[in-house]
């Protein structure tokens, strides 16, 4: 997943002619995937939804879509409704439960976009 349409096109077409640098990188990625027996699918993600990349480049910062319940509130919810089974609006880096729904594209998420 990438927010650069040119990169996506080069990976999907297994190279290209306009940018030698992107061509070489896409060939390297595809060769590595083939050697590793990994099947790749290139997918475009709009810049405004590509916040995982932004988050990785600014480690330790809370992303605009992230929030969590105060522990006391979480305990009260569990006491009233029982054990929780799905963490909504999480990422793999901040999920409180093994099964989570991510607001951004994340292969580890059980679901994408709780809404």
Find the farthest-apart pair of alpha carbons in the chain and give their distance in angstroms, rounded: 61
* pLDDT of res. 19: 77
Residue 89 lies in a domain: yes
Residue 94 lies in a domain: yes
* pLDDT of res. 80: 92
* pLDDT of res. 38: 86
pLDDT in tens, 66-98: 667 777 888 898 899 988 888 887 777 777 788
pLDDT in tens, 37-76: 988 777 777 766 666 555 555 555 555 556 677 778 888 9
Residue 10 lies in a domain: yes
Is the pLDDT at 6 greater than 60, yes or no?
yes
Q: What CA–CA distance (Å, rounded) separates 13 from 67?
A: 39
Residue 49 lies in a domain: no
User: pTM value?
Assistant: 0.42
> Containing domain of residue 21, as a range?
5-35
Residue 54 lies in a domain: no
Q: What CA–CA distance (Å, rounded) separates 91 from 30?
A: 27
Residue 50 lies in a domain: no
Specify the number of domains making up the chain: 2
Residue 41 lies in a domain: no
DSSP label at residue 112: E
Say if residue 30 is in the same domain as residue 68.
no
| Model confidence band, residue 18 (pLDDT cutoffs 50, 70, 90) | confident
Residue 102 lies in a domain: yes
Residue from 41, 53, 45, 40 nearest 3 by CA: 45
């Amino acid at each position: 997943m990438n927010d650069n349409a040119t990169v996506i096109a080069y990976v999907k077409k297994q190279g290209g002619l306009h940018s030698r640098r992107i061509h070489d990188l896409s060939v390297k990625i595809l060769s590595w995937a083939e050697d590793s027996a990994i099947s790749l699918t290139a997918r475009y993600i709009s810049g405004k939804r590509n916040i995982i990349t932004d988050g990785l480049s600014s480690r330790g910062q809370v992303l605009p879509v992230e929030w969590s319940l105060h522990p006391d509130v979480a305990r009260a919810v569990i006491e009233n409704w029982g054990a929780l089974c799905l963490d909504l609006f999480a990422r793999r880096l901040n999920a409180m439960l093994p099964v989570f729904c991510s607001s951004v594209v994340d292969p580890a998420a059980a679901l994408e976009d709780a809404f």
